[in-house]
Amino acid sequence: MITGVAAGALFLGLCLLGGWWFHLLLIAMALIGYFEFVKMIGCPPAGGSAITGYAAVLGFMMPWDLLGFSAPLSWVQGVWLLMLLFLAITVLTKNKMDIRITALLFIGALYIGTGFSYMAVSRSAPDGNGLFWTFLLLCCIWGSDAGAYFVGKALGKTKLWPAISPNKTVEGAVGGVVIAMAIALIFALISPDLLSLGRALVIGLASAVVGQLGDLVQSAYKRAYGIKDSGSLLPGHGGILDRCDSWIIVFPFVHILMLLPYY
């Protein structure tokens, strides 16, 4: 509880401040998350290949708007060049760092770097309501998590995906979806000029379903590598990826599908 309150206060406080404060926090979280990912797959976290991944995460997180510049590369160009660089590593190391590891490092940089970068995009939304959109998505995710846990504990009987996460139930998942949609509707009722009821329902549904998928993705990785937590930064909570596994899936998803109304 102490860890949760302290970490939550820091995160929400810097989110309220926005700008450089929040962006630097997200950069730190992304780099720590990538460090946890690198350790999880058994790659030396201070090796040259991992350093390439850290640089890629920084590249995805670069706040060009805050710096007053335009990005020198498009997102597609950046991803392709990163892929080429990781492919080249297998050649330059004469397969000491083989394609399986470099492919995972590439996926990790893309997964974590873009996930946290879209959180920054939400906070600096062009319509000036970034705090509203950020809290909307976070509250939907947290509501889904809480709903899935408590409904699952009270009513859960049918296992959702026991091979990946044995404690999750279908009833809990449905409960999480309902709570997330209800929270989104509350946001719409509070600010009807920003968010319609129909769009709120879609955002709540997407946040819950994709957020639970993000949780299962992280569970699958950890089960594959035989670990309980991705890290130990947050006592009682695990690592950054344990806490943010849903965030870094939901935020890109709602932007890529242009579910937020400022698109």
Residues 143-154 have a mean pLDDT of 91
pLDDT at position 85 is: 94
Which residue has better confidence, 47 or 53? Answer: 53
Q: Could you tell me the pTM of the whole model?
A: 0.91
pLDDT at position 69 is: 80
Mean pLDDT of the chain: 91
pLDDT at position 259 is: 92
pLDDT digits over 178-228, tens only? 999 999 999 999 999 999 999 999 999 999 999 999 989 888 888 888 888
pLDDT at position 164 is: 81
pLDDT at position 5 is: 80
Q: Collapse the DSSP code of 169 into the 3-class scheme (helix H, G, I; strand E, B; otherwise coil) and give the result.
A: strand
Contact 263, 121 (CB under 8 A): no
pLDDT tier at 104, thresholds 50, 70, 90? very high
CA dihedral 186, 11, 245, 198 (to 10 degrees): 20
pLDDT at position 24 is: 95
pLDDT tier at 73, thresholds 50, 70, 90? confident
Centre a 10 Å sphere on the Cβ of residue 155 and count the other Cβ atoms it contains.
Answer: 14
pLDDT tier at 30, thresholds 50, 70, 90? very high
pLDDT digits over 116-147, tens only? 999 999 999 988 899 999 999 999 999 999 99
pLDDT tier at 62, thresholds 50, 70, 90? very high
| Continuous segment of H or E residues that includes residue 168 | strand 165-169
| Continuous segment of H or E residues that includes residue 166 | strand 165-169
Centre a 10 Å sphere on the Cβ of residue 68 and count the other Cβ atoms it contains.
Answer: 7
Contact 240, 35 (CB under 8 A): no
- CA–CA distance, 31 with 45 (Å, rounded to integer): 11
Centre a 10 Å sphere on the Cβ of residue 168 and count the other Cβ atoms it contains.
Answer: 22
Confidence check: pLDDT of 246 > 90: yes
- CA–CA distance, 45 with 50 (Å, rounded to integer): 6
pLDDT at position 48 is: 86
pLDDT at position 98 is: 86
pLDDT at position 193 is: 94
H helix intervals, the chain: 2-17, 19-40, 48-61, 64-67, 75-92, 99-123, 130-155, 170-190, 197-225, 240-244, 247-256
